[in-house]
Amino acid sequence: MALVLAVQSALAAGHGPDGLVERTFRAANRGEGRIACGAAIAHWYSVDLGQAGPGGTVGTQLWFDPAGGTVYLLNDKQDRLPVETLWCGVAGRSWATRSLVDLPRHAGPAGTAPEIAVECAPAGDRLVCR
């Protein structure tokens, strides 16, 4: 139990969306197989963002901190989980075949784009998302 509490404490960088700007993340699958997307949190922990078949989309809500430039996911308790890396890859081997997704990481106004949208397609033995 102590380890679980320590992990939760290390991951949480605040609570709730106050002061943050909501951004929708969407990855459209333009290939013929399944894709899976995930996010690395706190150097060593990852969160599964979902899978999509051909023509489908993986999506989630991200939260941007204009004061510091950090991008967060909010868990079911509304804890802020800082996103270090976001990727999509071939389902079942998403990390090995990953394509990194660029996230806004600069302090200042978040701009007007309400969505971070990429289209993902196979390229050799990897997935490419742009």
What is this structure's pTM?
0.84
The per-residue pLDDT for 1 is: 45
User: Which pLDDT tens digit goes with each residue over 114-129?
Assistant: 789 999 999 999 999 9
Structure tokens at 33: 């197989």
User: Which pLDDT tens digit goes with each residue over 41-77?
Assistant: 977 799 999 999 999 999 999 999 988 889 999 999 9
If we measure between CA atoms, which residue out of 5, 4, 3, 10 comes closest to residue 82? 10
- Helix (H) / strand (E) containing 92: none
Domains parsed from the chain with CATH numbers: 2-129 (2.60.40)
Find where tokens 């993902």 sit.
Answer: 120
> Strand pairing partners for 62?
23
If we measure between CA atoms, which residue out of 64, 70, 66, 59 comes closest to residue 28? 59
